[in-house]
Amino acid sequence: KDNSTVSITVVGASGDLAKKKIFPALFALYYEDCLPEHFTIFGYARSKMTDAELRNMVSQTLTCRIDKRENCTEKMELFLKRCFYHSGQYDSLDNFAELDKKLKEHEDGRVSNRIFYLSIPPNIFVDAVKCASLSASSANGWTRVIVEKPFGRDSESSAALTKDLKQYLEEDQIFRIDHYLGKELVENLSVLRFSNLIFEPLWSRQYIRSVQLIFSEDFGTEGRGGYFDHYGIIRDIMQNHLLQILALFAMETPVSLDAEDIRNEKVKVLRSMRPLKLEDTVPQGSLTPTFAAAALFIDNARWEGVPFLMKAGKALHDKRTEIRVQFRHVPGNLYKRNFGPDLDDATNELVIRVQPDEAIYLTINNKVPGLGMKLDRSNLNLLYAARYSKEIPDAYERLLLDAIEGERRLFIRSDELDAAWALFTPLLKELEEKNIIPEYYPYGSRSPVGVHYLAARHNVKWGDLD
């Protein structure tokens, strides 16, 4: 019989992230019987609330994803009975000591394992970690802390944050979340590459012309203006979500699937990249706090000369995240004269659509059926919704489960974080020092025009604008 307990304290329980992502993910794990036998969930925040009020708040955002699933309401009730609330300040050793007392009551003499999920603004991370660690860490099991970005604003502030956290925690207790690593198709990236002979040998400068990482959202910064104004899209999306995908995409084969082996390879590829310069980004005047595009280069044997183009924007015409791999053209293609006008240089493209409508498709050149000889582009298409009847778990479910199980593969190690900041910090400083004026783009448009110049400079086209 399992004699251990896991308690998960959501610090900042009344915030948006907790309500929209953390509690629903915990419930989904509970529904799927993935949580340990003995677990307790605590909400911790400053506002006064009773357990019943917390349960009521949490219940508003719980879903069973597919409405008609069995026993959903019963399961929700059982789950809510395991949720409790403690009101306290984030910098109060006493308040965390009170929480510790309550946690002990729930643990009932079993081995105590504790997770603190910091869903609070970064300026209070260190205080909360200090109090949690000094007043409420486990006496006989493990204690882990999950931290959400932003991990600083640049290399220096990030290093300072890491140093401060390490006064109270060991590196292996810190679980830095980048929720994009928990997305199904990002997780599948390595599977696609390393377990398919038709892709693995092609994964290099010899066959790949460019790689494009595209993030767009069809809503702006409504409700988050304060945060966003301070961070901007480069820090919000590029330096973490897109760069993490790039590292996974471009790393060398890890020795094994072990967390340290994978993260070693990610760090290596990040350290082989050139720090960005202003000229690698959308031309002067086209860089706005809500949209940015950049070309990155990896100076190693596999990728030398291959542009990795990134663009990320809010308030655009659609919401999507895609990885587009553009292959080189077939030298001396016999069929060149049979290409229709839309074929251009008729290169193949592999598209991994992370969201929405998860899919992997490969554009090939194909003969249009008929007596003549005309070629067009067609897609071999793996649409997840058509292929798998199973619903796709939210990224937070996978990540929370990994944190509970101590699996660190999808969390960011401090040296990875340092390497990621090293790439962007010089550019961010230059942008701020030179006070670059943003190019405006209409809400709901495709992108500022500057992105086309950027791609053209590297002799490629954005695949999503065809």
Active-site residue set: 241
280 binds ligand BG6 (CB under 6 A): no
Provide the minimum distance between the beta carbon of 355 and ligand BG6 in the complex, in angstroms, as a whole number.
6
Which residue among 100, 217, 280, 402 contacts ligand BG6 (CB under 6 A)?
A: 217
In the structure encoding, which two tokens stand for residue 13, read together? 């329980």
Site for ligand BG6 in 310-369 (CB under 6 A): none
Chain-centroid distance of CA 250 in Å reads: 16
Q: Of 248, 307, 304, which Cα lies nearest the Cα of 272?
A: 304
Provide the minimum distance between the beta carbon of 15 and ligand BG6 in the complex, in angstroms, as a whole number.
13
Provide the minimum distance between the beta carbon of 179 and ligand BG6 in the complex, in angstroms, as a whole number.
6
Between 96 and 180, whose beta carbon lies closer to ligand BG6? 180
Which residue among 11, 88, 209, 236 contacts ligand BG6 (CB under 6 A)?
A: 236
Cα 19 from Cα 321, distance rounded (Å): 24
How many residues sit close enough to ligand BG6 to count as binding (CB under 6 A)?
Answer: 3
Provide the minimum distance between the beta carbon of 239 and ligand BG6 in the complex, in angstroms, as a whole number.
11
Between 182 and 254, whose beta carbon lies closer to ligand BG6? 182
Between 227 and 453, whose beta carbon lies closer to ligand BG6? 227
Identify the DSSP state of 202: G
Between 54 and 245, whose beta carbon lies closer to ligand BG6? 245
φ, ψ (nearest 5 deg) of residue 324:
-120, 125
When CB distances to ligand BG6 are compared, the closest residue is: 236
Between 236 and 265, whose beta carbon lies closer to ligand BG6? 236
Provide the minimum distance between the beta carbon of 51 and ligand BG6 in the complex, in angstroms, as a whole number.
30
First to last CA, the chain: 59
- Cα 186 to Cα 12, 273, 354, 446: the distances in Å are 28, 21, 7, 24
Between 99 and 238, whose beta carbon lies closer to ligand BG6? 238
Provide the minimum distance between the beta carbon of 227 and ligand BG6 in the complex, in angstroms, as a whole number.
8
Between 100 and 397, whose beta carbon lies closer to ligand BG6? 397
Cα 311 from Cα 250, distance rounded (Å): 17
Angle at 147 between CA 143 and CA 149, to 5 degrees: 170
In the structure encoding, which two tokens stand for residue 369, read together? 């059926």
Q: Of 188, 190, 275, 179, which Cα lies nearest the Cα of 236?
A: 179
Q: How many other CB atoms sit within 10 Å of the CB of residue 260?
A: 13
Token pair 């067609």: residue? 378
Cα 375 from Cα 377, distance rounded (Å): 7
Which residues, 6 or more positions from 208, have their beta carbon under 8 angstroms from its beta carbon?
Answer: 202, 306, 325, 326, 327, 328
Cα 175 from Cα 118, distance rounded (Å): 10
Between 19 and 179, whose beta carbon lies closer to ligand BG6? 179
Provide the minimum distance between the beta carbon of 150 and ligand BG6 in the complex, in angstroms, as a whole number.
8
For the chain, how long is the longest CA-to-CA vector? Answer: 83
Provide the minimum distance between the beta carbon of 389 and ligand BG6 in the complex, in angstroms, as a whole number.
23
Between 228 and 308, whose beta carbon lies closer to ligand BG6? 228
In the structure encoding, which two tokens stand for residue 224, read together? 């988050």
Reported as half-sphere exposure (CB side, CA atoms, 13 A), residue 241 has a value of 25
Q: Of 300, 272, 315, which Cα lies nearest the Cα of 438?
A: 315
- Contact of 309 with 460, CB cutoff 8 Å: yes
Strands (E), 332-405: 349-355, 359-367, 375-383
φ, ψ (nearest 5 deg) of residue 385:
-65, -35
- Cα 202 to Cα 196, 206, 265, 322, 381: the distances in Å are 10, 7, 19, 19, 19
Provide the minimum distance between the beta carbon of 217 and ligand BG6 in the complex, in angstroms, as a whole number.
6
Q: Of 401, 161, 152, which Cα lies nearest the Cα of 409?
A: 401
Site for ligand BG6 in 169-198 (CB under 6 A): 179
Contact set with ligand BG6 (CB under 6 A): 179, 217, 236
